[in-house]
Amino acid sequence: MKYVMLIMSVCFLATAAVAQQGNNDRDALQNHIHTALENNPGLKAASRSAEAARLEAPQFGRLSDPMLEVEYDVWSRENMDRLELMLMQRVPWFGTLGANRRYFDRLADAEDSAVLQVRNELIRDVKLSWYSMHEAYHHIMVLEQNVELLGQVERQILIRLETGRASQVDLIRLEIERDELMNNIENYRDQLQSEKARFNALLNREIYAEVALFHDLTLMEFSAERDITENPAVTEIEQQQEAAEINVERARLNSRPDFNVGVGFMNRDFGIWDPDRFNAVMVRVEVGLPFSRTRYRAEQEQARIQSRLRNDIRNETVNRLNAQASATKREIETSRRAISLYRDQLIPSLNHALDLSLENYGTGRATFEEIIQLYRQILTLEMNLNEAETAYNRAVSELEFLYGSHIIHRN
């Protein structure tokens, strides 16, 4: 039985050695995030949409193209040709062009905030997928190691069967336990492959591309809380509200007259292209009179409603984000307590109890059922510890996303 305890000690030491590889999981995750930011088509599409929105202001914040009118008499009773040239320029009411530029600039700023939101969502999704893969991979490693341990226990049972100190029932129970472990391993492998496909899709890679994973996981910490209003989603709504307020001014300016201003030349003779023969210079001013007051009042009221609507949406978004942040903080604290409980208390205590049971089993003072029960509890706690660690990191990533902040690593 000392041989069995030695084998189990070696296995646990091997597990700890593999766990030290987790120091590299942080760098690997950062590299994957960088790849996603460079290659993700959704982020590229959002960036191009923002670039297109930025080009709206130059289109609507400038004077329209001038109009050239040319009038020439093809036939006249006076037997004289008449040529008239008139260059016209539409000029809106004072301040209209500036309001247009400010309006479309605010909309473009909102598009930039939307890009930042898509970027933050991508980073969060990459992290969540990474942690899900780690959880499945860790469970597979733990289950495989415990299958090896069952093999060592099986050899001891066979030795005891030869001396009549064990029963065939012990061997059958062990085989059932091993079959259950193998089935769980296959289930987690399927889960891991599905999550790898999702992860590779975020990085815009082939879904079957290999992903190097690590046994252990670096726990993250939220560096500092910030105002929830710094979330890009809130910033986007605020910029849309600013645009709506500017649109109120645009609607007011649209109810003012606009002008067509022009200068022209007229000639009555055959020397139509001789500058010295032009016998008239004309100035033309046309005024557009906005008689439909109902229409313009409706435009202004609609713009005011849009502004109030954006303010209501902003307040609802801030309240929702604050509620989500509060719930996420509770999840972090719950996971932190679970990690401390499993790592510092339950698992060490059960390992000690298992060591004692193995010694007693060798002398006939413990039953096989007791060993299997302790073994199952340790297996469950090891997996629960891993699930608590991944849940902790998921919650930190979600909180980082809600605040639009950064995370630091805990050694």
Number of residues assigned to the chain: 411
- The CA distance from 3 to 10, in Å, is 11
Is residue 48, in this structure, part of any structural domain at all?
Answer: no
Number of independent structural domains in the chain: 1
Contacts of 69 (CB under 8 A, 6+ apart): 84, 85, 86, 87, 88, 262, 264
Contact 264, 358 (CB under 8 A): no
* DSSP letter (8 states) at residue 21: G
Is residue 135, in this structure, part of any structural domain at all?
Answer: yes
Is residue 82, in this structure, part of any structural domain at all?
Answer: no
What is the rounded (10 degree) CA torsion for 318, 321, 325, 331? 150
What the block records as the tokens of 351 is 């390992």
Is residue 49, in this structure, part of any structural domain at all?
Answer: no
pLDDT above 50 (res 208): yes
Is residue 71, in this structure, part of any structural domain at all?
Answer: no
Is residue 273, in this structure, part of any structural domain at all?
Answer: no
- What is the domain range of residue 21? 2-39+92-255+290-409
- The CA distance from 308 to 191, in Å, is 47
Instruction: Give the model confidence (pLDDT) of 360-407 as tens digits.
Output: 876 777 777 787 788 888 888 999 999 999 999 999 999 999 998 754
First and final C-alpha spacing in the chain: 38
pTM of structure: 0.82
Is residue 121, in this structure, part of any structural domain at all?
Answer: yes
Is residue 19, in this structure, part of any structural domain at all?
Answer: yes
Domain holding 364: CATH number?
Answer: 1.20.1600.10
- The CA distance from 163 to 371, in Å, is 20
**Residue 319: pLDDT band by 50, 70, 90 thresholds?**
very high
Stretch among 80-89, 120-129, 328-337 having the lowest mean pLDDT: 80-89
Q: What value does the mean pLDDT of the chain take?
A: 85
* DSSP letter (8 states) at residue 259: E
